[in-house]
Amino acid sequence: MTILDFMPPTTVSSNYVNGQWVPSASGVTFENRNPANTDELIGVFQQSNAADVDAAITAAAKAYEEWRLVPAPVRAEMLFRAAQIIAARKEDFARDMTREMGKVLNETRGDVQEAIDMTFYMAGEGRRMFGQTVPSELRNKFAMSVRQPLGVCSIITPWNFPMAIPSWKIVPALVCGNTVVFKPSSNTPLSAHNFVKVLIEAGIPKGVVNMITGDADVGTAMTTDPRVSVVSFTGSTTVGRTVNQAAASTFKKVHLEMGGKNVVMIMDDANLELAVDGCLWGGFGTSGQRCTAASRVVVHEKVYRKFVDAFIGRAKTLVVGDGLDPKVDMGPSNSDAQLQTVMRYVQIGRDEGAALALGGRRLESGSYAKGFFHEPTIFADVDPKMRIAREEIFGPVVSVIPCRSLEEAVAIGNGVEYGLSASIYTQDINRAFQAMRDLYTGIFYVNAPTIGAEVHLPFGGTKSTGNGHREAGVAALEVFSEWKSIYIDFSGKLQRAQIDVEQV
C-alpha cells in the first residue's frame, strides 16, 4: 500500500480521522493561497467544528487502549521509517512549504530537515526512555521508576515552521505511547497534510494520529475536552494564556511555547563582520517570523556607529521576492494580517522617535503587487523602553540600541517580558560566561545569532515565553509521559519504609 491509497479522492483536502479522509461536519471549506502571489491557490481545506473535534478525540481515545501496549521499540521503528520517507521527499515537501508559507527554499529545506532530524532522534528514544533503579532502604525489596504515557494529546501548531514544529510535538507523543489530535495553522495546512500522510505510510495505525483543520473554535474544543490529557501549543503569548486557562479546569498537562523578543549583544571587542552576518540572518531570516528572531541588537558605544553603518549596508543588498527564486534572500510575510502588524509597528517606531535607518515600507509594485512583501527595516538609536524594542513584531524589523557596558547590555536584554533566546559577540571568554550566566533565557549563543537550535537539546524559554516545559531532546519526553515509581517486596513479610530500617 502506498501514500496514494490514503489521499483524498478529490482536489479538496479532507480531515484525517480514525484512519479515514473525511470532510468536516460543517460542510465549510477555506482556501490556502501563496503569500508571494495570492493568485495561486495552493489548496482547499476543511473548516472544521466541534463535531469534528469530538470525532477525532473519540478515535484517539479508542486507539490509545491498543497503542499504549505496542512496545516502544516497535513504535520507534515506524517513526524511523517515517524519517526515511521524509528524507526521500525533502525537496518536494520544501517546495510545497515555500509556496504556502513564503520563506525561501533554503529555509524550507531546513524546516523539513528539522522534521527528519527530530523523527530519527525520537525513534532512538524508543529503545531508551530510561528510568531509574535505586537501592531500597529495606532488605529484599527492589525499587525502580518507569515512564508511562498519558493518553490523548491535543497538538496545536503555528505557520512559521509547519513541518518542524509538528514533528517536535507529534513524534515524542507517539514514541511515548500517546495518541494525537493535531490542528495545524490554517495558513499552512498542506505541510501538515504531507507530514501526516508520511506517518500513515510508515504504518501508524488508524486513530493514533488524527488531523483536523480549522480556526480558533477547533482549538478551543481541543483544549477543553476532558478526554484530552495533554495540550501542546506553540503560538502567541496572548493565545497561549487563553489555552492555559481553558485547560486548567480539567487539570491537563499543558505545554506552551510562545513569544520572544530576543537580543544580540555586541561588545567592543567583537568580530564586527561576523556580528553583522549573524544579525542579518537572525533578524531577516524567515522574514523575521521566528519566535527566536534577533529583533533587538544592543551594541557597545565604542563600535556602535561602525556596526550600524555595516549592518545597514549589508541589509540593503538583501533581495526580497518569491522564495522559490534562488536569487531571493527574504520572502513575504505569511499573510496580510501579519504584514499589517509589521506596518503598524513601523509606524509605532516612527511615532516613538526612533531613527528609521533603512526600509520601513511595504513593497507593492511590479512583482510584489500580489504578495505580502515588506522591506528589511532597521531602526537605530532605539530607546529600550520603546514598544518596538519590547513587543514581539514577528516581521523583518530590527531595533539597534546603544549601550556602555556588558552590564547595561544584560539589563536591556532581560528588560522584556520574554525569555527565549539571547546571544553575545565577544572575544573575551570572561564576558561570554558572565553573559550566559546572567541572561535569563532558555537558549543562549556565543558568537552566533539567536537562531540555530538543534533537536538534541531542550528548546523553550522563560517568563512569558513558556510555562516551564521544553521541546526537543530528552526533555520532550517529560511533556508526553509521566513517572511511575515501582516497589517490589520479595521478603515475604510486611516491611514498613522509614520505620523498619535496620540500624547497623
Cβ atoms < 10 Å from Cβ of 273: 10
Query: Which residues, including other chains, have CB under 8 Å from residue 315's CB and lie 6 or more apart?
Result: 280, 284, 358, 359, 376, 378
The answer to whether the CB of 96 falls within 8 A of the CB of 194 is: yes
Strands 397-403 and 362-363: unpaired
Which one of 100, 291, 375, 403 is the catalytic residue? 291
Q: Give yes or no: 257 in active site.
A: yes
Residue 26 — left, alpha, or beta (φ > 0 → left; ψ -120 to 50 → alpha)?
Answer: alpha
Residue 390: all three cell numbers together: 519590547
Cα(300)–Cα(306) distance, integer angstroms: 10
* Alpha-carbon distance values, 140 to 160, 485, 489, 498 (Å): 55, 17, 6, 15
Cα(9)–Cα(495) distance, integer angstroms: 64
* Alpha-carbon distance values, 161 to 103, 109, 115, 477 (Å): 10, 11, 10, 21
Q: Give yes or no: 352 in active site.
A: no
Q: Which residues of 306-330 are buried (b: 16+ CB within 10 A; e: fewer)?
A: ebbebbbebbeebebbbbbeeebbb
> Which residues is 30 bridged to in the sheet?
45
The answer to whether the CB of 398 falls within 8 A of the CB of 377 is: yes
SS3 call for 443? strand
Cα(447)–Cα(449) distance, integer angstroms: 7
Cα(59)–Cα(53) distance, integer angstroms: 10
Strands 209-211 and 179-183: parallel
Which one of 125, 257, 375, 471 is the catalytic residue? 257
Residue 319 — left, alpha, or beta (φ > 0 → left; ψ -120 to 50 → alpha)?
Answer: beta
Tell me phi and psi for residue 185, to 5 degrees.
-60, 140
Strands 443-446 and 15-17: unpaired
Residue 431 — left, alpha, or beta (φ > 0 → left; ψ -120 to 50 → alpha)?
Answer: alpha
> How many helices and strands, by DSSP H and E, does the chain display?
14, 23
> Which residues is 134 bridged to in the sheet?
143
What are the catalytic residues? 257, 291
